[in-house]
Amino acid sequence: MIIPASACIVQDKLGAVNAAAFDLEAGCTGFVYSVTIAAQFIATGAMKRILVVGSETLSKIINWEDRNTSVLFGDGSGAVVLGPVEQGEGVLASKLAAEGAGWEHLLVPAGGARIPASPLTLEQKLHYVHMNGKEVFRYAVRVMEEEALKMVKLAGLELSDIDLLIPHQANIRIIEHAAKKLNLPMDKVVVNVDRLGNTSSASIPLALDEAVKSGRIKKGDNILMVAFGAGLTSGGIVLKWS
């Protein structure tokens, strides 16, 4: 629903009666944005434990006659709990960015205040995802490399210090290009887009969960997460796994 925030419904179902709850919209970069914000709350002492959920049911807003989008996206949900850690562990650096001039390249045109729902918007299929794939691809290839390099520098690390890259799972060509530019072998990159598709804000927490369960992440590892999405938005996080 547009109102209320989904987080309030989740809070109620969990019985987390004292927890603040809000939604955050940053497209596929939503998880990185949310973890960055959550880390600030914890670092300042304002909150002790924060549940961050990235959840998408994109199949409900996909036009199955549009091959530019229907073969790409998947439904999924992933979550993490953040809390205080020892000095030098957890989030070492994070950076968020946006290029709002590209907002028209990936959007659901109707259903909000700009173009309210009507019989005409339904007829014109304006309640589905519309994407300019070439422009999004061009943006993604550039920012994945740029943001990753900035993140590593902000964390005071070298590329050789990164133990695992967990990128947004949008496109295997984008992921392989980023890994090549960062001089990271693919065995240091988590990939699940071939099985799950692009699950938007759920893609990084899902990939993180798979990496933890398969033993690819151990205490002390430096993890780099990079994402891009509608908005156009981008962002990255470097964390030392505790």
**Which residues have CB under 8 Å from 222's CB, separation 6+?**
92, 155, 157, 161, 162, 163, 164, 238, 239, 240, 241
**Closest by CA position to 54, among listed 185, 200, 168:** 200
Give CA separation, 150 vs 45, 135, 166, in Å.
27, 22, 16
Q: How do beta strands 76-82 and 90-98 pair?
A: unpaired
Question: Which residues are known to be catalytic?
Answer: 28, 168, 198
How far apart CA 107 and CA 231 sit, in angstroms, is 8
Contact 178, 163 (CB under 8 A): no
